[in-house]
Amino acid sequence: MGPASEPHNGNPGRPRWERLGWSARSLSLAATLGLAACASPPPPTFDLTAPSSGLSARGGRQLAVTEPVALETLNSQQIIVHDSAGSVSSLSGAQWSDKLPALVQTRLIQTFANAGQLRRVGRPGDGTIAAYQLATELRQFYITAGTGEAVVQIAARIIDASTGQVVSARIFTAKVPVATLTGPAGAAALDAALGIVLKDIVRWA
């Protein structure tokens, strides 16, 4: 006498374990589709630009442009806002296209190139034999909600690569009014303020 067959509850010919397996897979697929439907789209990204006009630069120095150092609040893709009480937040629904220090480094090198200095600038480690290093620090790069301004401040140092001695140093600051506290307006004002600072750095370096 063979083994007793399991009751099939209205689905003859299919083992119970198979029916349970299909049910589990169906539930898993439904849950996945539900999570995908609820996932919010990524926020719009904004870029920074390198000035291409009104530039002049002195020749003679071969420069390696390092990535700017920055506090953790600026070392991200967030667009930072400072309110009148001094608290820090990020602009909702907007972000930079890359981490801010890497983005500023790229636009600084491009600004040198736009000034006709492409052959004398590069990144450390890309094969450029540089006599000097241009080291920068992002000190301010945010919107001040209290005054309605975009503020960019970068401290720059030119360092002798052979001795490590700082041969020149300067702080560059620019402020630009922000039309509205929104992603497009905030990003545009910060881009304009950075453009002023980048021009000044290239002329100085």
Do residues 71 and 1 both lie within one domain? no
pLDDT digits (tens, 9 = 90+) for 25-59: 444 544 444 444 456 677 899 999 999 887 776 66
Decide if 128 contacts 61 (C-beta within 8 A): no
pLDDT digits (tens, 9 = 90+) for 147-201: 999 999 999 999 998 899 999 999 999 999 999 999 999 999 999 999 999 999 9
Enclosing domain of residue 126: 45-204
Do residues 106 and 7 both lie within one domain? no
Give the C-alpha separation, 156 to 120, whole Å.
Answer: 18
CATH number at residue 183: 3.40.50.10610
Q: What is the pTM of this model?
A: 0.79
Residue 2 has pLDDT above 60, yes or no: no
Question: Sign of torsion, CA 109 110 111 116?
Answer: positive
Cα torsion at 118, 121, 127, 131 (round to 10°)?
A: 140
